[in-house]
Amino acid sequence: MPIVRIGSTYSSLQQYKVNDDQKPIFVNSKHFTGYVTVRLQNHHYKNEKVIKTNSYFENHRRFFSFQFQGRFKATNPDRPDNLWTFDDILFCAETEESINPPMGASLVVKFARYIDPGFTADGMFLDKRPWVGSWLVCGMNVIKVWKANEEILYDVHTFSNEHTYQDEKKEISDKNLLTKVSNTTTLNDHSSPLLPVDPWIYYDQRHLNEDTSLIFFDEQINFNSKKRRNYFFDPIVRQSYVFNPSLVYAFDFFNNFTNFSTMNADMFVKFSMARVLKNQPLRFVCRDKKGDSVFFVIEIDYLDLFEK
């Protein structure tokens, strides 16, 4: 427990080897090209070959990490320039059918909003695909932005099959850091153009650091996480910024109060996620506000535990 799957859409999910963050899944959807990895502290499963943890967690009080980096494509049908604004994209936790909200759910929501003022639970009580979440630009613990290297070339054969592995090794340098990228699982939407994405170098103890200066076109403005969340809480501000397709956006989402390995949470109120989920997989979806455009999906399936 649990089984983690990642995909470009709900229907293209593929099982991922948790904590193997040197080998993220490469996702190329209609709206996004990038890499996604999942880390779980004290991860357990029937298979003894499972990776229990990751050096990423050393000296950090975190139960999990969802880390992803990539480029947002100009596919927004509601704007003449087709760009996605910061007010368009959400990062949500959802299930397919209704849930049993925990006792004291209002306190849980207040706890989440204390950390992220953009957090909303307006969709918690829906019968179909109930959800809670935040604006992507507000919900992430860390955001780092840099200019894409347009000279990176992919072998078209590398991405010709949705369930193939690439064995492409690229030597790269980042501030005198030399590393390699290899054996990356690929999920490719063949109808979508492939944007070059810089190699994956932030794994193990090479943590992402907040750097949003390119968002503001001013290197003097570089908010920390708290200031960034408060600044983009205003919808008018969010609507005035767009995800630039020429930039690579990297995100890390984590906390120390929801444990996806034990299915327990402590957010002022302690509760079991098993009771809340009603035996359903829990999905984290990067999508637009209407839910029509999906950038990628992370699914955590506890079926193995439920069957015990």
pLDDT digits (tens, 9 = 90+) for 93-108: 999 999 999 889 999 9
Residue 183 to residue 169: CA distance in whole angstroms: 8
Residue 48 to residue 8: CA distance in whole angstroms: 28
Chain-wide mean pLDDT for the chain?
A: 85
Q: What is the pTM of this model?
A: 0.86
Strand partners, 131: 94, 123
Structural contact between residues 259 and 226, judged by C-beta atoms closer than 8 angstroms? no
Window from 72-76, 153-157, 203-207, 273-277 with minimum mean pLDDT: 153-157
| pLDDT tens-digit series, residues 274-305 | 899 998 999 999 999 999 999 999 999 987 65
Residue 252 to residue 54: CA distance in whole angstroms: 15
